[in-house]
Structure 1
């Protein structure tokens, strides 16, 4: 059987450069090592006479890995397979792949040459569909769904809403539909970007997943380009084993650097560590160490931003929408426009020689987007993959510029109160807290991409306002640059 899988892997490597519709369809073919690992996650006691779904099947690598396990471990003599693939180039090879198994077991296969979302939503809505009979719903699904945003006005979005699924990306749409197509106790193994774990846009998908399945196992790669070396994909990936209708128990978390799995490690965690009981946003945390988390070590870190009297908003000035107002340098009638590059630690460098503008012209239309000068903590929304830190914070002070109003560009999150500045001690305390190594590590547990949203900051836990103000006074009393080690040490002391 290894020879069959090796043949399929050679075919994958050969066909990959031929795929001209990658950007259109979000196609990323699964390497053999990843496919075999995914197939290994299914509960062997549930694999007799399986009814398998592979949505976005490609050339059939995942289905082949599943069938290979059935045969080599003598788990079943027969299988029903439904593979869905819209790409004609891939579908031709998919048929060849399935034919390799015809004399190995009793295989009943159905190749569906349709758009999966259109086929699945029609199937779920069709009262006469055979799938309305729960006995012949799918028992197993294995998928590497496409990764591409869904436009709010698209047909896909309309079809998904018709079956009660609200989501913003093809990968979460594929998994959501697959959940709806499963038998009770049916198992799903999928490799998907980790971005669904947090943020407001994926909350309905997280709710669907948590209401209708139990998370059994999650495997985390360092980054998507480690698991998909042949593709220019930079999202962190997670492989998930879900079981429809199962009781949620402890979750197995495993990690590896890449698809060789040579440094594979695993631990079990109570579900309360994965989804915190009082978290209304349903963020999914993926701990990778049995060490106590930052929040567990310091129970006093238990306050929300709202409880400490702070709000957070995304910078309201979207530069490409106000191009005619932008100025490279300040001039009469303008005010400062701050970008992430203007903030270096506790210092504000403005104006600054850079590709972005430094000022924005003010009229009645622009005025509504401005903030009065004051003390503000700011956090970069986007960090590059080369940056060591996920959370990069700064502070704006009234002494930074001689203006009564300022603009914050959309690449910044702004911590304020009712669109006004906050006390100096609190602004510097929030800066130091968010700049600590422990908070950055804590944030990475539930954030799998390089974006920091206002909702992420709103959902995080903070020390009390008094503690933050003490932290801020310490920062303000130390002239010059404060080292990372000093910030981390001081945080330990005050908590």
Structure 2
């Protein structure tokens, strides 16, 4: 649905204010609060995502900022043929400077509604949304039938007041953005719709599994919209998390999902392609490209357990082993391997004038950090969607070494692999099919050991034949 010029005025006005105010905000406070203001075009898109609106809208905008999302919702609601009879908005904003602008936005919304004969009421709660919602009785008494969110992004520490507040609500999660969505869902009435823009990181990984289960058990996913990167959707802010918008219906019956991207038209996808029925981790997959190859990876016969191979995260956390790090190797050191040592499928070590460290002291204090001599397949834990490959594998073939924590390494019960198996495994992991698989279901810039354990693999004989050059990657599918 397209807006008229008159309808765009309110959204454009707020967007202009965002561009002026955002650079003036205290960067440390913004980082602490996870503040990323919603650009006007994205707010408008989100406001248009709702299905048929109730006659009497009770809208939640948690972490409302300057009110761009509420303004977009109101603008879109008033442009519909079947306008609501009333709109009651509850906004949460903890930042006083933004809350003052939010008041002005809501006043403008009230004027627009009055001109259309729609009753408008609003309340701004100048408080932390999670902490306020956890206060006795508040969580039970607030019921909304619409919610629109651009929640803050920030990790929640185990001992933080946020974690304690969430536990009082029966919610276990590790980031503010999933916390906001979880609390909002708890405050929605059955049949109510929630539209949120968040990072994609909740889609997989063990840390977000409790949130995924809460989301999937209590609501039905009706639409998913994927951005190329959060940098493109929030290009005015220094944000790198990959981003998506989703619409869910509280207590709804799960049906097919409308899947779109900022570069492709929406298409209907069976829910079983989004969450596979036999996936014990409830990963949320986003099959936007390369669907055929990724499906063939998923159909491969083996897990790592079947192959008798294990994958672990590198043991050396450099800032915890500072006194044992060495710039250059010596008689009393072992190689220390970082992602920067990857080179053409192997390891280039040492690196002259390396800004990090090439070696780890070989002593009693570091014994538990050192991996036995052998052949290992190493993968980078961190990558970006814009990189040529999401998963990058190299082979280490050498003596005892320390693998830095930004690496995963494949091994057999702590010992190295055979050369044929290592070569075949590395070739498989570096393949286009595996790359597309990770781009579909991996929602963040990490490739964790858990992700690699849940990947499907060819059998051991096929990998060894690939390593000997007797077959090709294409023959595996």
Correspondence for 1:110 among 97, 111, 123: 123
Q: Is the 8 A contact 1:189 1:240 kept in 2?
A: yes
Counterpart in 1 of 2:304?
Answer: 305
Determine if the alignment matches structure 1 residue 266 to structure 2 residue 279.
Answer: no
RMSD between superposed Cα atoms in Å: 1.8
Match of 2:98 among 90, 99, 103: 90
CA shift digits 1:35-86 (9 cap, x unpaired): 1111111112x33211100000111111111111222214212111111111
User: 2:287 — aligned with what?
Assistant: 287
| Residues 292 and 227 (structure 1), Cα distance of their counterparts in 2 relative to 1, 3 Å cut | closer
Q: Does 1:197 align with 2:203?
A: yes
With over 3 angstroms needed to count, the CA separation of the structure-2 counterparts of 1:347 and 1:227, relative to structure 1, is closer
Where does 1:294-443 land on structure 2 (aligned, <5 Å)? 294-297=293-296, 301-353=300-352, 354-383=354-383, 387-398=387-398, 403=399, 405-443=400-438
- For 2:297 and 2:405, how far apart are their aligned partners in 1? 33
Give the conservation status (yes or no) of the 8 Å contact 1:137–1:182: yes
Taking the aligned partners of 2:199 and 2:21, their CA distance within structure 1 comes to 23
Give the 3-state SS of the residue equivalent to 1:50 in structure 2.
strand
8 Å contact kept, 2:275–2:285: yes
Structure 1 position 12, deviation (Å)? 2.2
SS for the counterpart of 1:422 is coil
Please report how far the alpha carbon of residue 453 of structure 1 lies from its aligned counterpart in structure 2 after TM superposition: 0.8
Deviation at 1:30, TM superposition (A): 1.0
Q: 1:52 aligns with which of 52, 59, 72?
A: 59
Note the C-alpha offset of 1:384. 5.2
SS at match of 1:375: strand
How far apart, CA to CA, are the structure 1 residues paired with 2:225 and 2:253? 20
Distance 1:284 1:367 in 2: 39
**Deviation of 1:386 (Å):** 5.5
Can you list the C-alpha shifts for 1:83-129, whole angstroms capped at 9, x where unaligned?
1111111111111111113224211211111110111122xx42xx4
Q: Is the 8 A contact 2:294 2:434 kept in 1?
A: no
Q: Shift of the alpha carbon at 1:295?
A: 4.5
User: What's the offset of the Cα at 1:385?
Assistant: 6.2
Aligned residues of 1:382 and 1:451 also touching (Cα < 8 A): yes
In structure 2, distance between residues paired with 1:23 and 1:47: 36
Residue number in structure 2 paired with 1:120: 133
Matched, 1:69 2:76: yes
Cα-to-partner distance string for 1:151-196 (whole Å, 9 max, x where unaligned): 2221111111121111111111111111111101111000001111
CA distance in 2 between counterparts of 1:25 and 1:295 reads 37
Shift of 1:414: 0.5
Partner of 2:444: 449
Aligned pair count reads 462
Q: Does 1:28 align with 2:40?
A: no
Equivalent residue runs for 1:174-193 within 5 Å: 174-193=180-199
TM-score (norm 2): 0.93
Q: Distance between the aligned counterparts of 1:303 and 1:153, measured in 2?
A: 40
TM-score, normalized by length of structure 1?
0.89
Aligned to 1:485: none
Task: Give how far 1:284 is off.
Answer: 0.9
Whether the 8 Å CA contact 1:295–1:301 is kept in 2: the answer is: no
Q: How far 1:9 moved relative to its partner?
A: 2.3
- Does residue 151 (structure 1) correspond to residue 157 (structure 2)? The answer is yes
CA contact (8 A) 1:300 1:464 kept: no
Report the equivalent of 1:481: none
Q: 1:57 to 1:345 in 2, by over 3 A?
A: same
2:4 is aligned to none
- Which runs of no fewer than 5 residues in structure 1 stay unpaired? 258-263, 478-488
Q: Is the Cα–Cα contact under 8 Å of residues 178 and 211 in structure 2 kept in the other structure?
A: yes
